[in-house]
Amino acid sequence: MEGVAPPLELLLAVKRSLEKGQTAKQGILNYLKRCEGEFPTTVSKWMALLHQGKETQTLISGISSQHRQVLLQLLERGMRGEAIYNVLLTLEEEIMEACHEELTNKLARLPFILLVPLLLFQFPAFLMLLFGPLLQNFFHSLGGG
């Protein structure tokens, strides 16, 4: 799933695992086997803290994204044996909406970003076409023409 947001990818892996009758932990482990990057590293540290019985709240609070924090807190509840499937479905919808909103914002800014090459490359070329003959006549008249 190239290009999918990392928290959504984790959520889908856990959801798929729960739908197969497996545990949330197995879904997390499947996600960690498949994915690489910053978020899977954070998830593996979080899993290690859970296995050691240490407090995970400091690691979770260090994550900048609110959706990632909520997902890890929810998965922690699932690892303790609570039923999380319905909450997982709700969180999936919220993350999907956030992804669509982010894409919409980036697409709205795209025309303005694409004006930069126009200004940097095409506008100077237009000026050369416009002022080229004028400068040629000017230099010709200075040369004693």
pLDDT of 126 higher than 90 = no
Please provide the average confidence, as pLDDT, over all residues in the chain: 90
The conformational region for residue 57 under phi > 0 = left, psi -120 to 50 = alpha, else beta, is: alpha
Helix-, strand-, coil-residue percentages of the chain, each rounded to 5: 80, 0, 20
DSSP assignments along 93-132, one per residue: HHHHHHHHHHHHHHHHHHHHHHHHHIIIIIHHHHHHHHHH
**Confidence at 135, pLDDT banded by 50, 70, 90:** confident
pLDDT at 84: 93
pLDDT digit string, tens, across residues 40-63: 999 999 999 999 989 999 999 999
Tokens 């997902």 locate to 71
pLDDT of 71 higher than 70 = yes
User: d(Cα 72, Cα 77) in Å, to the nearest integer?
Assistant: 9
**Confidence at 141, pLDDT banded by 50, 70, 90:** confident
pTM: 0.76
Q: Where are the domains of the chain?
A: 6-107
Q: Are 56 and 76 in contact (CB under 8 A)?
A: yes
pLDDT at 74: 94
pLDDT digit string, tens, across residues 93-123: 999 999 999 999 999 999 999 999 888 888 8
User: d(Cα 92, Cα 97) in Å, to the nearest integer?
Assistant: 9
* Tokens representing residue 100 in the block: 């669509």
Percent of the chain at pLDDT above 90?
66
